[in-house]
A and B are shown apart, each in its own frame.
Chain A
Amino acid sequence: MSFLSEIWMFLKVRKKYWLLPILITLLILGILVVFAQGTAVSPFIYTLI
C-alpha cells in the first residue's frame, strides 16, 4: 500500500497524472511477470503471448 501511495504522491507532486493509466498497465504487467515465474499462472501467460 505504501508503494501505491508513494506513486500517487509522485504523480501529484510532478503533476504527471497522464502517466497513471500507463503505470497501472505496467504494474499489472509487472505483477504478471512476477507471477509468471510460478507454474500456476504460467499457462495463462503463455496463451496471452
Chain B
Amino acid sequence: MIILGISCYYHDSAAALLKDGEIVAAVQEERLTRVKHDADFPNEAIVFCLKKAKVSLKDVDAIVYYEKPFVKFERILETFFSQAPRGFWQFFRSLPRWLKEKLYLKKLLVDELRNIDKTVSRRILSDKILFSEHHLSHAASAYYPSPFSKAAIVTLDGVGEWVTTSLAVGNGEKIDFLKEIHFPHSLGLLYSAFTYYLGFKVNGGEYKVMGLAPYGTPRYVEQIYKELLYLAEDGSFQLNLKHFDYLTGATMIRKSFEEIFSQPRRLPESEVLEFHMDIAASIQQVIEEVILKISAEVHRQTGLDHLCLAGGVALNCVANGKLLKQGLWKNIWVQPAAGDAGGALGAALAAHFLHFKNQRAASSADSMHGSLLGPEYSAAEIETFLNEQGIQFRTYEENDLLVEVVEKLIDQNVVGWHQGKMEFGPRALGARSILADPRDQQMQKRLNLKIKYRESFRPFAPAIAKEESAHWFDMEGESPYMLMVADVKKEKRHALSVEEQNLKGFKALQVPRSEVPAITHVDYSARVQTVDEHSEPLFRKLLLKFQETTGCPLLVNTSFNVRGEPIVCSPYDSLRCFMSTEMDVLVLGPHLIEKTKQTVSKEQFERVFPLD
C-alpha cells in the first residue's frame, strides 16, 4: 500500500510517502524550490517522493491532505461573525482566495497532481484524496514513528482548523483525544505575538526569541500573567484577546499590548536592547511553565511513561529540555519535523493506521531513519558536477577523508559537510551541516557574522557521539534530532570572576564559559544532538576521529545555509553557499574542496536571499 501525504498553502509545504507503512521519503518543498518556507503546492517534493519509491501516481493508493479546509473556513467565518464589523477588510481580503481556490481544495489538488502526471484521470485522483485533521496529523507524526506501543501525545501550535493544543493517547494503532484547546486561545500565537513585538518575523523568527531569552532576566513574567494570559492548574489557558490583533487585523498585537510593557514594538533589524532580552526571557519562561503544566496534566490523566510531542511549539527545544528535567516521563520523543511540514507525514500515517486500519507494531529501531528522508547524490554524480563547474577538488577514501577533515577543523577552518540523504525537518543533523571546532572562543562570532550572515547573538549547537553525551551534558537519554537543550556539565565549565559573572546582555558572550565556548550559551545551555552509529555512521566516525585527535568529542553543527536561505539540498546549492561565504572547506561526499585552491570567480555563485 502506497500513501502520499501533502501539506501546503499555509507555510512550509512538504510531501511524504509511505510504502506498506514504511516511511520511504519526505522533503520540504523549500529545499527544492529554494524559496524559504515555500507554501505552494509541493510539486517538486511529490515528484521526488514518487521517484524515490519508484512508483507513479497511478500506483498510489491514497493521497492525504494534512487538514480539513471546510472546517478551517468554518473557523474563519465564525471568527468574522463573532467580531464583526471589526475585521471586515481582513475577511474581505481573504475571501477571493477561499472562494476561488481553497474551498475547492480537492479540485485544486487534482489539477496540481495532473500537472505531475496527466495519464491519471481526474476521477481516479479525486477518489484517492483524503483529508486528515491538522492536529491529528501532528499527533500521528509524533506517535506512529515513535518507539512506543502506548504513549501520551501532546500537540501544540499556532492553529489548525480550530484546535491549538491537544492532549491524546496513542495505543497500538489508535489515537484518542482527551482534551483540546481551541482558537483563538493559542500558545503558538502567543509566542508569535511576542516574536512580532520583538521585531522578528512571525512563522520563522520564533527560534530567535528562544535564542535571545538566555541573555535577559524574566522580569515581565508577572505582567504577562496579569495582562495577557490566564493559566489554570491543569494547563488550560486563555488569552486576553483585547491586546491581540490576529482575530481581526493583519498584525499580531494591538497598541494596548505595547502599552503593557511601556515600549513600542522593536523595528526589524534595529538594535536589540536589554529590554528586548528581558521580554524574550519572560515569554520563554511563561511558555515553559504552561508546557510543564500541560505535561503534568496529561501524565495525571494517562499515567503513562512515554510522551510524544509535535506541532510548531514542540520545536522549542529549551521547553523540551525542561520537560525532560521535570522527571515525569521515562522517555520523550519529539517529531523532528514538528511543524506543518511534518503534517504531510502525519497525514499519511493517520490514513495508514486509522483509515486503512493497518496493524502497528512499535519498533525500537528508528522508523524516521534519523530523519534522513530527502534527496541524495552519488559520488560519481558529484564528481561530474564539480568537473563541469571547473572546481579543483581531491577525492579520498573514507578514513583519509576523516583525517583530512579533522585536520582542517583543528586548524580553525569552517567546513561545509554534505553527505548522503538530506534531513527532513528544520534541523541539519550531519547530512547538510556546517561544522567547526567548538573549542575556539571566536568561532561563534565568526560563524554568525562571516559564514551565516546572521545576528551575532544566535547560539550554535553541538553534535556529539551518543555515548559521550553524558560526560559533557546534564542529560539523560538521547537527543538525535537536536530537540533537547541540556546544560554543559559543571566540570566542563570555566570558573568566572565576579566581574565576568556580572556582564549583561551580549557582553556575556565575550567570556569563555566552558571548554567548548562556541556551543555554550550564556546560561551554560546547549542544544544537543546525539549521534548514533545507525542513523549517521560517517558523521559519528568524524566526531570520534576529532575526539581521538583532540580529546573533544563535539563539533559545532549548524545548518548549511545563510540567513534567509533554505538549507542546501543539491551539490550545486552546497557549492553556491560555500563559494559565496567565507567558509574554508567543502566536503561533498568523498570529495574535498578548498576555497584557497579555486580559480573560478565567486560572483557567479552569489545570490541574495530575503532576510528572515
Binds A, one of B100-108, B144-152, B363-371, B513-521: B100-108
Residues of A within 8 A of B104 (CB): 3
Nearest A residue to B107 via CB reads A3
| Cβ contact within 8 Å between B100 and A33 | yes
Q: Once the chains are docked, how many angstroms separate the CA of A14 from the CA of B99?
A: 20
Q: Nearest B residue to A27 by beta-carbon distance?
A: B99
Residues from chain B with Cβ under 8 Å of A33 in the complex: 96, 99-100
Q: Can you name the residue of chain A whose Cβ is closest to the Cβ of B96?
A: A33
Distance between A34 CB and nearest chain B CB, rounded to angstroms: 6
Give chain B interface residues in 34-73, CB to chain A under 8 Å: 70-71
Say whether, besides A7-B70, A14-B71, A19-B74, A29 and B99 are in contact (CB < 8 Å).
Answer: yes
Q: How far is the CB of B230 from chain A (nearest CB, A)?
A: 28
Tell me which residues from 92 to 143 in chain B have a Cβ below 8 Å from any Cβ of chain A: 95-96, 99-100, 103-104, 106-107, 126
**Whole-angstrom CA separation of A6 from B68 in the bound complex:** 12
Q: Are A6 and B70 in contact (CB under 8 A)?
A: yes
Q: Check B95 against A3 for contact (C-beta < 8 Å).
A: no
CB-CB nearest in chain A for B70: A10
Cβ-neighbour of B126 out of A2, A7, A14 (below 8 A): A2
> Taking A3-B107, A7-B70, A14-B71 as contacts, is the C-beta distance between A30 and B126 under 8 angstroms?
no
Kindly provide the distance from the CB of A37 to the nearest chain B CB, expressed in whole angstroms: 9
**Cβ of A45 under 8 Å from chain B:** no
Instruction: Provide the A14-49 mask, 1 if CB < 8 A to any CB of B, else 0.
Output: 101001001000110110011000000000000000
Is B77 engaged at the interface, CB distance under 8 Å to the other chain?
yes
Q: How many inter-chain contacts with C-beta < 8 Å in the A-B complex?
A: 29
Q: Which residues of B contact A22 (CB under 8 A)?
A: 77
- Check A14–B100 contact: CB distance below 8 A: no
Cβ–Cβ < 8 Å partners of B70 in chain A = 6-7, 10
A19 to chain B, nearest CB (A): 6
CA distance A26 to B74 in the complex (A): 12
Min Cβ gap A46→B in Å is 17
Are the C-beta atoms of B106 and A30 separated by less than 8 Å? no
C-alpha gap A1/B69 in the complex (Å): 18
Q: Is the CB of A10 within 8 A of B77?
A: no
How far is the CB of A3 from the nearest CB of chain B, in Å?
A: 6
Query: Of A7, A26, A34, which is within 8 A of B95 by CB?
Result: A26
Find chain A residues with CB under 8 A from B96 CB.
33
Separation in Å of the A9 CB from the closest CB of chain B?
9
A3 touches B74 (CB 8 A): no
Contact of B103 among A14, A16, A19, A30 (CB under 8 A): A30
User: Which residues of A sit under 8 angstroms from B126, Cβ to Cβ?
Assistant: 2
Q: Mark B326-356, 1 if CB is under 8 A from A, else 0.
A: 0000000000000000000000000000000
B251–chain A nearest beta-carbon distance, Å = 25
**Chain B neighbourhood of A29, CB < 8 A:** 95, 99
Query: How many whole Å from B90's CB to the nearest CB in chain A?
Result: 16
Which of B95, B99, B100, B107 counts the most A-chain CB atoms under 10 A from its CB? Answer: B99
Ranked nearest first, the 9 interchain pairs of A and B with the lowest CB-CB distance are A30-B99, A10-B70, A33-B99, A33-B96, A16-B74, A26-B99, A3-B104, A22-B77, A19-B77
18 contacts between A and B (CB under 8 A): A2-B126, A3-B107, A6-B70, A10-B70, A10-B71, A10-B74, A14-B74, A16-B74, A19-B74, A19-B77, A22-B77, A26-B99, A29-B95, A29-B99, A30-B99, A30-B103, A33-B100, A34-B100
Residue positions of A touching B, CB distance < 8 A:
2-3, 6-7, 10, 14, 16, 19, 22, 26-27, 29-30, 33-34
